[in-house]
Structure 1
Amino acid sequence: MASEPVSVKEFQELARQVLPKMHYDFYAGGAEDEHTLRENVEAFSRITIRPRILIDVSHIDLSTTILGYNISAPIMIAPTGMHKLAHPEGEIATAKAAAACKTIMVLSFSSTCTIEEVASCCNAVRFFQLYVFKSREVSARLVQRAERNGYKAIVLTVDLPRLGRREADIKNKLVKPQLKNFDAVISTEVSSDERSNLQFFSRALDSSLCWKDINWLRSITKLPILIKGVLVPEDAIKAVEVGVDGIIVSNHGARQLDYTPASISALDEVVSAVGGKVPVLFDGGVRRGTDVFKALALGAQAVLIGRPVIFGLAAKGEYGVKQVIQMLSDELELTMALAGCPSVKDINRSHVRTKHQRPLSML
């Protein structure tokens, strides 16, 4: 592309041009037929915005708070693994971009920079993503390291009792780098007869993880616990009952179970079930500021972005990540002005209509 990108979507093509096919497929791909991967983006097009007029929008305030921490806009960085496959500086570049944009980064459990390296690279609020291994001691050590190094919350990802079938990675025989967070704790190398070291995760993950284990996690950390991977109201209600501090509506970027709902299609029901008892965040398919607006109108306190960050990182390093976040923020600001919402708290359910709602003119 000869010109500078003018939208977040254009970074994907830039990333495709610079990344080895194996690595691009790893980031861009989804599970099996990739139906949910497509739906995560396309479902936003079935939600329309209901703008209000003659409201003073001469000043737009994008700022909000998450678990008491101030951020410049309701746009956070989702946990995504292996940033060094996208750029040599890896998660350090992403963390610096998040700090510059005054937002929160969730560091992936499978990061290629260590917990300590990311913590020391710049001053910012960060959360840490956790999977639970069969060896609970491995997970416990990572939680304790995150807490010691100033991470402010644990994001427990619960939609991965087994690794989803990602056929592009299988065909490419993807080999991930040794993960430095696990050095001297557990080996992530594979035997010569295995197709890729994705199989390490299938072997190591604890498929017995269940609701009672929230108490185990609470027993090893004082940090707030958010649960990521909720798609149905029944699980949202249960999460509130067991005392989590927040919920993230997510289908794992459509990388786990294909033919689950698009994340945005599940948000309304989950928010209704939670009833304001804990904050609800949203992850999946955000490519425009209008997408952010729609998620906020349906009850999310903030959105998390994953692939756009990776594509920005691959294309232009730290600067590319900052560009992605700034583009979404600028588009959100314009959307709020045109929809008659001077601040994030002014955005509510009345500002959007889903495909299930009859137009008001027909009532």
Structure 2
Amino acid sequence: MSSNYPIYPKLSAIPNDLLTLNDYAEMAVQFMPPEVFEYVDSGAGEELTLHGNHAVFEDYQVYNRVLTDLTHAHTYTKLLGQTFRHPILLAPVAHQGLVHEQAELATAQGADAVDAGLVLSTLATANLEAVAEQTASPKWFQLYFQTDRADTLALVRRAEDAGYTALVVTVDVPINGLRYRVQRAGFTLPLTAQDLDQTAAKPIELSADDSVIFQGMMRTAPQWRDLDWLRRQTSLPILLKGVSHPDDAQRALDSGLQGVVVSNHGGRGLDRVPASLALLPAIRNTLGDDATVLLDGGIRSGADVFISLALGADAVLIGRPQIYALAIAGALGVAHMLKLLRNEFELTMALTGCAGIEDITPSSLFRH
């Protein structure tokens, strides 16, 4: 699982001053080669979407409610018919071997220690069967469509056999965004994904009038008909990840999918896409109460989790913070980061008078 970049030593104990997810983000730069940090930390273009994902949470405050009986309070929730201890899951993040020798194996161990669900990336450094063995918590598989449908189906069958209980199909980045910080740092991806056929793809021949992007890179990009095909191949529930428009969300449900992940790929795809949280209420309103809706992007505190649920998310996905934590202290760091987030979330629930996930509603929020 090694890369051409060095793996920096990890902490064996959590420092007393590592108290928030922002602390993890600030410390992580010390535990990665500079080029790798830029790859993990950066966004696309001018990073307006990346920063917007964080800034939008500042538009909301929460009401402090008093004298509520919370002796039976809990954070259990159901997603796609499965019970989760809390509505905080690890997002699919590729190439984790860049920051830790055990890569996603260590991440899964950390998630398991605090009963957190995880979504494993198609582009994981570790193979999906080995990761599945590291956690008894619910686990889903994030799927990128492959050029050959047979290769896509092979990934689905392996995920089914390994015990993954849902598919999360990412569709918002059929081609990579322009990541200027990555280019300036001179980063090149040295790893291969263990679950993918490494046979070199046959180059696409273009005429002089063809666009490298339109007729080249986008020629094999998935379309709605591919989603219809996938739905017929598996009985697993499917969420569509990378949805930012209500019409696309509705079409996903009309196609027989169970829900969506409102996401702009952490600001790493198309810059100037609105913040995920800003898009959430309209998408929830379009889909109604029965669809499963997750939020991905910008969450850095338990209050952020609370705000996300109040505005319509059933659960949230945590992306970059898991990589910062993995880089700093491996499985221990991932578990500690998630524990911080869960404790903050429970504290927010307690002081807003919410005894269960169902009590977290728009009426809990105050907006400027």
> 1:59, CA displacement in angstroms?
4.2
Provide the rounded CA distance (Å) in 1 between the counterparts of 2:250 and 2:260: 10
In structure 2, what is the equivalent of residue 98 of structure 1? 111
How far apart in 2 are the matches of 1:79 and 1:203?
Answer: 27
8 Å CA contact retained: 2:87, 2:316: yes
CA deviations on 1:192-251 (whole Å, 9 max, x unpaired) are xxxxxxx9xx97776542222221111222211110011121111111111111211111
What corresponds to 1:195 in structure 2?
Answer: none
Asked if 2 retains the 8 angstrom alpha-carbon contact of 1:240 and 1:277, the reply is: no
Q: For the structure 1 residues 343 and 176, does the alpha-carbon distance in structure 2 shift closer, same or farther, using more than 3 Å as the test?
A: same
Q: Which runs of 5 or more structure 2 residues have no equivalent in the other structure?
A: 1-13, 204-211
Aligned residues: CA RMSD: 2.1
Superposed, 1:129-208 pairs within 5 Å as 129-171=142-184, 172-183=186-197, 186-187=199-200, 207-208=220-221
CA distance in 2, matches of 1:92, 1:275: 37
Deviation at 1:308, TM superposition (A): 0.7
1:281 paired to 2:294: yes
Q: Distance in 1 between matches of 2:232 and 2:34?
A: 43
Kept in 2: contact 1:31–1:164 (CA 8 A): yes
Give the partner amino acid of 1:49: V
- Residues 1:62 and 2:75 aligned together: yes
| TM-score with structure 2 setting the length | 0.88
Q: CA deviation at 1:18?
A: 1.1
Counterpart secondary structure, 2:224:
coil
For residue 128 of structure 2, what is the aligned residue in structure 1?
115
1:34 aligns with 2:47: yes
Identity among equivalent pairs (%): 38
The Cα of 1:137 is off from its aligned counterpart by: 2.1
- Which residue of structure 1 lines up, in the alignment, with residue 316 of structure 2? 303
Among residues 342, 345, 348, which one is paired with 1:332 in the alignment? 345
Q: Do 1:31 and 1:166's aligned partners in 2 also have CA atoms closer than 8 Å?
A: yes
Structure 1 stretches of 5 or more lacking a match?
191-198, 356-363
- Count the aligned residue pairs: 343
Structure 1 CA distance for aligned equivalents of residues 344 and 219 of structure 2: 41
Q: Could you tell me which of 254, 267, 285 is aligned with 1:272?
A: 285
User: Of the candidates 236, 256, 264, which is equivalent to residue 269 of structure 2?
Assistant: 256
User: Structure 1 length normalisation: TM-score?
Assistant: 0.89
Please tell me the residue identity of whatever aligns with 2:173. Answer: L
3-state SS of the aligned residue for 2:195? Answer: helix
| Structure 2 contact 114–339 (Cα < 8 Å) conserved | yes
How big is the shift at 1:68? Answer: 1.8
Q: CA offset at residue 178 of structure 1?
A: 1.7
Q: Which is worse superposed, 157-166 or 28-37?
A: 157-166
Question: What residue number does 2:240 align with?
Answer: 227
SS state at 2:165 partner = coil
CA contact (8 A) 2:175 2:217 kept: no
What CA distance in whole angstroms lies between the structure 2 residues aligned with 1:4 and 1:48?
Answer: 26
1:354 deviation in Å? 3.8
- Matched residue, 2:336: 323
- What amino acid is aligned across from residue 193 of structure 2 in structure 1? L
**Structure 1 residues 241, 126: closer, same or farther in 2, change over 3 A?**
same
Aligned equivalent of 1:358: none
Report the Cα distance in structure 2 between the residues aligned to 1:281 and 1:104, rounded to whole angstroms. Answer: 13
* Residues in 1 aligned to 2:221 and 2:45: alpha-carbon distance in whole angstroms: 24
CA distance in structure 2 between the aligned counterparts of 1:173 and 1:312, rounded to whole angstroms: 21
Q: Distance in 1 between matches of 2:221 and 2:27?
A: 41
One-letter amino acid of the structure 2 residue matched with residue 17 of structure 1: Q
Question: Contact (CA 8 Å) 1:65, 1:71: kept in 2 or not?
Answer: yes
Query: Could you tell me how far apart the structure 2 residues matched to 1:303 and 1:110 are?
Result: 21
CA distance in 1, matches of 2:136, 2:338: 18
Amino acid at match of 1:103: A
Q: Go from structure 1 to structure 2 and tell me whether the alpha carbon gap of 1:277 and 1:72 turns closer, same or farther (over 3 Å shift).
A: closer
* Separation in structure 2 between the aligned mates of residue 38 and residue 143 of structure 1, nearest angstrom: 34
Counterpart amino acid of 1:279? T
Deviation, structure 1 residue 176:
2.9
Alpha-carbon separation, structure 2, partners of 1:238 and 1:97: 36
Structure 1 distance, partners of 2:53, 2:282, is: 16
Worse-matched range after superposition: 48-57 or 285-294: 48-57
Is the 8 Å Cα contact of residues 133 and 204 (structure 1) preserved in structure 2?
A: no
